[in-house]
Amino acid sequence: MLMRLTSKQLLHLPVYTQSNIFLGNIVGFELDPFQHMIQCYYVKKVNFIASFLQHQEKPDYIVHQRQVISLNTERMLVEDALIGEQAEIAKKIAPQKTESEFI
């Protein structure tokens, strides 16, 4: 089954690593006009108001198309290597939920 996403669906899509660490939302992308393909995605942790100013700020991450593991209408999944040490720091800082907390 062929899946397609519009730019409206793509923008603001949440981005997670393989370790399920939230990186932010897609705030932009670059298109290769010769190949008609997205080359990279701009990801930033933004709040609602800041999203209107997204083009005035630098992205937190630039994700190359080769780093994308999966993409659907609910989220983008990227390689852990994208953030390297930052992922390890985030794991240590973020509170981890136990199975009993999900019940």
The pTM of the full predicted model, rounded to 2 decimals, is 0.71
Q: Cα–Cα–Cα angle for 16, 66, 86, nearest 5°?
A: 40
Query: Contact, 92 vs 102, CB < 8 A?
Result: no
Q: Which domains does the chain have, with CATH numbers?
A: 7-95 (2.30.30.240)
31/36 Cα distance (integer angstroms)? 7
Say what the pLDDT of residue 28 is.
Answer: 93
In Å, the largest CA–CA distance within the chain is 52
* Residue-level pLDDT, tens digit, the chain, 103 residues: 678 889 899 999 999 999 999 999 999 999 999 999 999 999 998 765 555 555 556 888 999 999 999 999 999 999 987 666 555 555 665 555 555 554 4
